[in-house]
A and B are shown apart, each in its own frame.
Chain A
Amino acid sequence: MSIHRQLGLTDEEANQIEEILGRPPNHLELAMYAVMWSEHCSYKSSRLHLRRLPSEGERVLVGPGENAGVVDVGDGIAAAIRIESHNHPSAIEPYQGAATGVGGILRDIFTMGARPIALLDSLRVGPLDDARSRWILDGVVSGVSGYGNAVGVPTVGGEVVSDATYTGNPLVNVACLGVMPIDRLVLGRATGVGNLAVLLGSTTGRDGIGGVSVLASAGFGSDGDTDASDEDAAKRPSVQVGDPFEEKRLIEACLALLDAGLVVGIQDLGGAGLACATSETASRGGVGMDVDVAAVPRREPGMEPFEVMTSESQERMLAIVRPDDLDEVEALCRRWDVRATVVGRVTGEEGRLRILDGFDGPVLADMPAASLHEAAPCYDRPRRPAPAVPDLPPVPTGSVHAGDDLLAMVADTAWVWSQYDSQLFLNTVEGPGGDAALLRLKHPVTGQDTGRALALTLDGNQRWCAVDPREGTAMTVAEAVLNLACVGASPLAVVNCLNFGNPEHPEVMWQLSECIDGMSEACRALGVPVVGGNVSLYNESRGSDIDPTPVIGLLGLVDRLERRPPGVTLAEGAAVLLVGARSGELGGSRWAAEALGGGRPVGSLPALDLAASTATASLVRDLVADGLLAGVHDVADGGLGVALAELVARSGVGADLDGVDGHGELFSEAPGRVVACVAAEDLAEVERRAGAAGVALARLGTAGGDRLVVAGVVDLGVTQIVDTWRNTLPATMGTPVGAGPGIPWDGEASVDGAER
C-alpha cells in the first residue's frame, strides 16, 4: 500500500498536496498533512454543514473555530466553554482514554486565558450485563476521577447512559467551563516576526502518534471475538498517557504567564501535536514559522522528525513570546517546575512553515502553514435519509400495572459521580445528580462573589435522534433549557458534541445534516448562540453505526442567587403538579423501546412546540427564583413515571396521585414539561402565574406517605423505590451494597437516574 494511504490520506488528497507544494511531498510533510487533514482535525465531512449553526449573539466574545467559545457573563468576567469527545481512545484503553480526554479539554480552556472551574462528562456504554461494557465504564470513571481530581478541577455533572447501540463503540464526551477577567482573553495566534515559539510542559514521546488519523478517524472492526479485535488492540499505542500533576503545574504556570502579560499568543498541543500547534498559530496570525525539531525535548532516543512533529504526548503548550521576555518566562516556569524550550521562531516568510534540523541546519519540510489548516479538504458527502424506525406497536390496554416497568428504569448514578471531586473551589451549589449543575460565580482574580451563578447541563438522547435526528436534536436543546430552568437559570450559549457513525455512509451524513438543522432551528427560536463544538465520526463497529448522538452542553446564568434551588425532592403535604401539557404519545420513548420495540426505538416523536416549551421554562425559572417551588424535576427519559419515581427516591417521601392515563401518560416523553412540588400556601400564586403565562398546569395529587400511588397505574412502596434506585448500579458494577458510595449531600437518598 502506498505511504499516503497507510497514513489515512486518499489518492486525491495526495495529489492535492503535490499541487500545493509543486513537487512530491517528502515523508515528513506527508505525515504532517495526514494528521492535519484527518477527519478529527479538519472536520472535512462536517465543516460544510456546521456553517449553518447560529453563532452570533450579544454576549459572544469568541465563537466556533477557536480553542473554546467565550461569552461575556457580566462584571468584567468572561466564561470559556468547550466540549470534546474521546470516544475511540476510551474504547481501546478506558482509563487513559478518559483521563487524557479530561486533560485535553482543560488545555482548550486555559489556553484562552481562563481558569478551568468545572468539568462535566457524558458517558455512553453498552448494556451493563456485558462484562466488557462494565470494564469500559469502570475504567472511564476511574480515568475521569484519577485525572480530574488530581489536576484540581471539580466534575460537577453530566450523564451516564447504557444502550446496546454503544456496545462496540462507547462515547466519552467531556466539557469544561472556565472563567477569566475579560481583558485576559488571549487567542491562539503567532504574531511579531522574530518572536519565539516556546514549548511548555512535558517531553515528547512516541505516545499517540497518529491518534487523530489512525484512531479517531476510523471505525472499529469487531466487538472482541474475531481477528479484528487484535487490530483494535494494536491501536492501543495510539492512545496517549496522561499526567495530571504535570497538567496542574502547567495550568498554574500558563495563567501566571498570561497574568504577567508575557505571552503574545498561546496554543495547546492536542490532536496532531506540534504539527497542529505550529501550523495553526502561524496560519491564524498570518505569519511564517521556523521550527527546530532537534530542540524539542524528547522522552526517548532515536525519534524521527515525523514522530516528534505528530506525537500527541500530553500536557504540552506552545507559547509565543517576545525575545526580551524570554528570561522572565523561563524564571516563571522554573517556579512551577515546568519545562520551557524555544523550539520555533516567527518569520515573515510568506506564511511558510519550515521544519529544520537546528535553526541553521537543513530544511526537512517546507509548506504553507495555512495549507495544513484552512486549506484542508472540505467534502459534501452524499446524503440519503435513513430508513424510518418501525411504527409504534399497539399499547396493551385494560388493567395496567406499570410498577415493575418503572422500577426497571430507575438507577441512582451516585456510584459514578461520588468518585469525582464535585466541590472544589467552593462554588458548587447544585452538583451532580440534579437537573443541572449550579455554580456560584466568583471573580476569577479577586475571588469576589458576584451574587450570581452559572449553570451547566449536558444532554443527549440517542433514541429520539434515531427516530428523527432533526426533531430529536431540537427536543434535546429544549430539554437542556428546561434543565437549566429547574435550577433557576436562563440559557446563554450552546456547545455541542456530535457523535455519529461513518460519514461515508450516506445515511449517517443525512443524520448529521438533519441534526445540525434541528439544532439551528431550536437555537434560533430560543435566541441562544452555538459557540463551539466537536464532531466525532466513524463511531461504528463491525460495519454498524451508532445511533446519532448529539450531546448538547448548555451554559446558563442566574442573575441573583439568593437561595439554593429546590432540587429534585418532594415535601410532605405539598401539591404535586404537572407543568406543561398532558400527553400520552409514546413514540421515541424509552418505555416503548424497552417494552414494545425489543430495545430499539419505535414510533414517531411527539410534536415539539418550541414556544410552549420556552413558556414552561420561563415560568419554572421564575418560580424557582422566587422560592415558590418545594421541589422540581424535568420530564424526559422515562417520562412522567421516572420523574415521579426519582422525586420519591431522592426525598424518601411518597405521593398519592391521580389523573394519569395508562402507560401512555405515565411514560410519554413529550417535551416541555416538568413536575413541580408546591406548598399549599403557594399553590394559588403558582396557578395564577401559570394561567397568566398560558402554561398548562395539572394537579396530580399530594406528596406524602410511604407509597407512590398513581391511581390505576402504579402502587409501590417508597422503600422499594429507594432501594432499587440506590442499589442497581453498585450491584451491577460489583460494589457491595452498603460499602460503596451513594449518600449524598442532604443525607436522605440521592440522585436521578439518567442525569447526574
Chain B
Amino acid sequence: MSEPGITEREWQQLYYRLERPLYNLAYRYVLQQQEAQDTVHDAFLQLWARRGRIRADTANRYLWVSVLNLSRKRRRWRRTKAFLSGAEVLLELPAPDSPESNAAAAQEHRQLHLAIDRLPEKLRGVLLLTEFAEMPHQSIAELLSIPSGTVASRRHLALKRLHAELKTD
C-alpha cells in the first residue's frame, strides 16, 4: 500500500484519463455541458485540496464518488430552482458530431435522457456508473457500498424501465 500524497503530475494524469468518463456521468445528471464540466472540476479541486491525505491508488475511487455526489447535489438544486421559478428543466444537447445526425435522432436522444432523468436515483446511479466508469461490477459495488449482485439487478431493472418508457412515448 502506497503512502498518502498525490503529486501535480499524478493529478494531471488522472484528469486526462478520467475527464471524459466523469464528464459524461455528470452531464447525465445536470444536463448542461458547462455545468457538467464545472462539476468534474469541483471534484478535482477537492482532490487537490486533500492531496496530502489521499493515496494515489484510491484517487480514482475518490473522484467517481465525488462526481456522483456533486452531480446529485447539482441536480437537486436545478430541480428546486426550476420548481420555484415554474420553468421547465432544460436539456442542453451537445452539437451533433456527424453530418448524418438529424432531428429524429436528436429527438430520440432527448427522450432517452429525459427517461434516465426520471429513473429513481438508485437505478440511475448504477446505470450511469456501469455505462461510463469502465469498472467491473465488483468495483462499482464497492464504490456504492452495495453487494455486487445488486449492481447487476439494478442495471437490469433500469434498462427494463427505460425500454418500457421509450416504447410508450
A and B interact: no
Which A residues are closer than 8 A to B by beta carbons? none
Which B residues are closer than 8 A to A by beta carbons? none
